[in-house]
RNA sequence: GCUGGUGUAGCUCAAUCGGUAGAGCAACUGACUUGUAAUCAGUAGGUUGAGGGUUCAAGUCCUUUCACCAGCUCCA
């Protein structure tokens, strides 16, 4: 019979051959490295049979699929080790995730301890050295249920498969361990060599908080030792960039027990950074035709009932009362903005109306989710609401996407786009939801931007485009979001007078660019590892003298820089220059002006950059123009 | 909220079996006046997250609670 290779070449091979035979026919070397195969687009084991006219691709450790297969097999290896060591451990599921895998176990009343990870790793090494072949078996649903009669979670999974209409399931045997699994797998446990179990955590069965909490073990696995080491090293490096650690070191913010969990306090350095960011935002919004507005922190509960927040968002809100009238602390800024629109009769000529507010909101987040500045209970959004006509909707969405792109470009962020559709809890008509969702898709298509769809993850009042930024450890954080809303204008009975003299309903866009300013600062900190670009750096320049003899000149320079609006501080302590440089370096200050007698005599400045590079004996006017350029161009470079 | 772990000086961390709470850095004082990542000496700093209990004796054991860390669920 004949099979086809990825190159399109035809290969003649004996009837009944397996993918391994294909590899072996091509070359001995390939056969040695062959881990799995892709037959007609489906991933299969290396010993899977091939049929006439099949398209066959041999997978080796060079292919991306191979890592996933390795990790999946490592998860099985770990489950086997766990069941050898813990007789009452029930297996559930063990999928591959980014950079690794996990496996969930029901341990009954037992718990894993951190020391258990080492024991399990040792047992895994033992099983790997036993060189157990991993063999696939296909059995009927009934037989599978008999075989797993003692594993209730597997029974549940098998029943789920049966419900989908499948008559058989595949099982993988390796020695004394059998798992229900679609595969494919590596052919032998001895191929699993470079792995590490990373952490233990609880996880609900099937991700549902009403279900039992299982014990999860996370791990990673690689083909080469160097790859494993590099990955573990990367995790260490990422820890150093953690904004909570850097936030403390660089004195950006603090979260105190006495104040309350999830309520950050900005220290002067963090305050300087944040103020700069907010000033930048105000300017950019004014450039783009937004008006700045302000609303109160608490609004009457009745208004939250009208908006639907009371019915749909109450668990996340804080309430209080004033003279027996119920009020709610705002978790969102939209209500005030609705009232801004209603404050006048609007003509179609007035639209679009764009209201911008750096609005601080409070949300009751569950205690377990709080995380530095990334997840807090009080945060400030760079929030805006745009009210426009249906005809203007598409252009408005596109303008927001351009805005987001401009801002992310300044920081050099990578991001991913998701469209979140109607959730289970929603307000308004299906027709409006369809229109709103359509509008978002159209704008993304018009910009030719790639996106993923996140079913059922929209806000209760409308679908949204989410922009997610990547943090130091590769986690994604939602920052910008654009939400189309046909519902709130209806609930608040917003109208404008059209060309025809009749009342019409505007459409509302909710949108944020940075999202939460607080979260954005957290992401920024990790992104730059605390080495902020000059324009946003809390301290831009530190003036350092060599001896007291240069004090007057140093003070003169400092005053001039301050007068120009730069963030300058000084270190005139009676310490050696090396010591003062070291401190400035650890504080990640971009520019140090090192002023000795030479500089004072000749009225020059010498600059040491955060990179260690020096620019000696410059005219002050030249130096200040460098700073001005950095501020104006928002450059990521330390010099020009 | 749930599961597991961790809370010791401003920061980073010690303290063996339950037996006198300690170091480095920072702070403060003094000397040194210094040229590109740590000058030297001295002083002070604590109800061991908080409450309750066991014990002759608790940082250490038990218990309640708060916070933090990892993850789950949820989310900007």
Q: Is the CB of A6 under 7 A from strand B?
A: no
> Into how many domains does chain A fold?
4
Last residue of a domain, one of A14, A39, A59: A59
Q: What is the nearest nucleotide to A112, using C1' and CA? A: B4
CA angle A622, A628, A634 (to 5 degrees): 135
Do A349 and A400 reside in the same domain of the chain? Answer: yes
Which neighbouring-strand residues pair with A467?
Answer: A417
Instruction: Tell me what pLDDT residue A473 has.
Output: 60
Do A193 and A233 reside in the same domain of the chain? Answer: yes
Angle of the A268-287 helix axis to the A390-411 helix axis, nearest 10: 140
| B strand bases under 7 Å from protein CB | 1-5, 11-12, 31-39, 66-76
Place of tokens 């397996």: A18
We report the CATH number of the domain holding residue A209 as 3.30.980.10
Instruction: Based on the residue annotation, tell me whether A464 is a catalytic residue of this protein.
Output: yes
Do A493 and A356 reside in the same domain of the chain? Answer: yes
Are the beta carbons of A591 and A638 closer than 8 angstroms? yes
Do A224 and A354 reside in the same domain of the chain? Answer: no
CB-CB neighbours of A169 under 10 Å: 23
| pLDDT, tens only, A10-31 | 888 888 888 888 888 888 888 8
Annotated active-site residue in A179, A383, A471, A485? A383
Place of tokens 């489950």: A79
**Residue among A393, A401, A57, A99 nearest A235 (CA):** A99
Q: What is the nearest nucleotide to A595, using C1' and CA? A: B35
pLDDT, mean of each 10-residue run, chain A (640 residues): 84 86 87 87 87 86 89 93 88 88 86 82 92 90 89 89 88 90 88 90 86 90 90 85 94 92 95 97 97 97 95 93 96 97 96 97 94 95 96 94 94 89 87 88 91 88 88 75 92 96 95 96 94 97 95 96 96 94 96 96 96 96 96 93
Does residue A248 form part of some domain? Answer: no
Last residue of a domain, one of A505, A527, A549: A527
Do A78 and A52 reside in the same domain of the chain? Answer: no
Last residue of a domain, one of A527, A559, A587: A527
A 312-371: CB within 7 Å of strand B: 363, 365-371
What was the ipTM of the complex prediction? 0.94
Do A146 and A206 reside in the same domain of the chain? Answer: yes
Model's pTM, two decimal places? 0.90
Does residue A489 form part of some domain? Answer: yes
We report the CATH number of the domain holding residue A566 as 3.40.50.800
Q: What is the nearest nucleotide to A598, using C1' and CA? A: B35
Does residue A105 form part of some domain? Answer: yes
Instruction: Based on the residue annotation, tell me whether A619 is a catalytic residue of this protein.
Output: no
Annotated active-site residue in A83, A301, A353, A381? A381
Instruction: Based on the residue annotation, tell me whether A548 is a catalytic residue of this protein.
Output: no
| Structural domain for A49, as ranges | 2-59
| Calpha distance A477→A241 (Å, rounded) | 15
Does residue A305 form part of some domain? Answer: no
Q: What is the nearest nucleotide to A199, using C1' and CA? A: B70
Do A285 and A381 reside in the same domain of the chain? Answer: yes
Phi-psi map region of A605: left, alpha, beta (phi>0 left; psi -120 to 50 alpha): beta
CA of A108 to C1' of B61 (A): 26
Does residue A95 form part of some domain? Answer: yes
Does residue A325 form part of some domain? Answer: no
CB-CB neighbours of A582 under 10 Å: 12
Q: Is the CB of A581 under 7 A from strand B?
A: yes
Q: What is the nearest nucleotide to A600, using C1' and CA? A: B35
Do A104 and A15 reside in the same domain of the chain? Answer: no
Residue A280 buriedness (CB in 10 A; 0-12 / 13-18 / 19+): middle
Does residue A150 form part of some domain? Answer: yes
Do A54 and A74 reside in the same domain of the chain? Answer: no
Do A359 and A481 reside in the same domain of the chain? Answer: yes
Do A52 and A81 reside in the same domain of the chain? Answer: no
CA of A265 to C1' of B53 (A): 37
Do A595 and A624 reside in the same domain of the chain? Answer: yes
Q: Is the CB of A243 under 7 A from strand B?
A: no
CA of A120 to C1' of B31 (A): 60
For residue A626, give every residue at least 6 positions away whose Cβ sits within 8 Å of its Cβ, in sequence order, or none: A639, A640
| Distances in whole angstroms, Cα of residue A156 to Cα of each of A92, A120, A145, A159, A436 | 10, 26, 9, 5, 39
We report the CATH number of the domain holding residue A443 as 3.30.930.10
Which neighbouring-strand residues pair with A11?
Answer: A3
Does residue A444 form part of some domain? Answer: yes
**Residue among A554, A598, A559, A556 nearest A573 (CA):** A554
């Amino acid at each position: 019979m004949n099979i086809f290779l990825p190159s399109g070449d035809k290969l003649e091979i004996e009837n009944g051959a397996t993918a391994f035979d294909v590899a072996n026919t091509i070359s001995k070397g390939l056969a040695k490295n062959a881990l799995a195969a892709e037959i007609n687009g489906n991933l299969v084991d290396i010993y899977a049979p091939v049929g006439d006219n099949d398209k066959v691709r041999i997978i080796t450790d060079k292919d991306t699929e191979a890592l996933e297969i390795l990790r999946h097999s490592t998860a099985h290896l770990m489950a086997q080790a766990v069941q050898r060591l813990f007789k009452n451990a029930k297996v559930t599921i063990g999928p591959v995730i980014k950079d690794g895998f996990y496996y969930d176990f029901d341990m009954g009343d037992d718990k894993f301890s951190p020391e258990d990870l080492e024991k399990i790793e040792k047992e895994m090494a033992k099983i790997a050295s036993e060189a157990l072949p991993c063999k696939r078996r296909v059995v009927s649903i009934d037989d599978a249920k008999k075989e797993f009669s003692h594993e209730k979670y597997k029974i549940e999974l098998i029943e789920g498969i049966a419900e989908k209409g499948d008559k058989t399931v595949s099982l993988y045997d390796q020695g004394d361990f059998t798992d229900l699994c679609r595969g494919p797998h590596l052919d032998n446990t001895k191929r699993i060599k470079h792995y590490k179990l990373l952490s233990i955590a609880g996880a609900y069965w099937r991700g549902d908080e009403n279900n039992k909490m299982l014990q999860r073990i996370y791990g990673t696995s690689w083909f080469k030792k160097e790859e494993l080491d590099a990955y573990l090293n990367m995790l260490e490096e990422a820890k150093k960039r953690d904004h909570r650690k850097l936030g403390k070191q660089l004195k950006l913010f603090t979260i105190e027990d006495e104040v309350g969990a999830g309520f950050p306090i900005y220290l002067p350095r963090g305050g300087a950074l944040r103020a700069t960011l907010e000033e930048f935002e105000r300017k950019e919004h004014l450039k783009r035709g937004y008006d700045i507005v302000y609303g109160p922190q608490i609004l009457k509960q009745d208004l939250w009932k009208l908006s639907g927040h009371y019915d749909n968002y109450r668990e996340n809100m804080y309430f209080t009362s004033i003279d027996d009238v119920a009020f709610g602390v705002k978790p969102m800024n939209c209500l005030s903005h609705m009232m801004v629109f209603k404050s006048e009769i609007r003509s179609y000529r007035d639209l679009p109306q764009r209201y911008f507010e750096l609005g601080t909101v409070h949300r009751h987040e569950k205690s377990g989710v709080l995380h530095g500045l990334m997840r807090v209970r009080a945060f400030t959004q760079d929030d805006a609401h745009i009210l426009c006509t249906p005809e203007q909707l598409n252009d408005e969405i596109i303008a927001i996407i351009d805005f987001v792109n401009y801002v992310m470009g300044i920081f050099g962020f990578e991001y991913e786009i998701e469209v979140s559709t109607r959730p289970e809890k929603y307000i308004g008509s299906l027709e409006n939801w369809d229109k709103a969702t359509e509008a978002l898709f159209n704008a993304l298509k018009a910009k030719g931007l790639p996106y993923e769809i996140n079913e059922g993850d929209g806000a209760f009042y409308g679908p949204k485009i989410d922009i997610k930024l990547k943090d130091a450890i590769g986690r994604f954080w939602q920052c910008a979001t654009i939400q189309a809303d046909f519902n709130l204008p209806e609930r608040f009975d917003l109208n404008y007078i059209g060309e025809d003299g009749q009342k019409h309903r505007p459409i509302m866009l909710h949108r944020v660019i940075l999202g939460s300013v607080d979260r954005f600062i957290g992401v920024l900190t990790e992104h730059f590892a605390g080495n902020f670009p000059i324009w946003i750096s809390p301290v831009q320049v530190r003036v350092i003298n060599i001896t007291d003899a240069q004090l007057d000149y140093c003070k003169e320079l400092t005053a001039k820089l301050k007068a120009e609006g730069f963030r300058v501080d000084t270190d005139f302590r009676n310490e050696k220059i090396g010591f003062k440089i070291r401190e400035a370096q650890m504080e990640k200050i971009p520019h140090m002006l090192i002023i000795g007698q030479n500089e004072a005599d000749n009225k020059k400045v010498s600059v040491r950059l955060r990179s260690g590079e020096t620019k000696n004996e410059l005219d002050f006017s030249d130096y200040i123009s460098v700073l001005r350029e950095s501020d104006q161009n928002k450059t990521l470079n330390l010099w020009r």
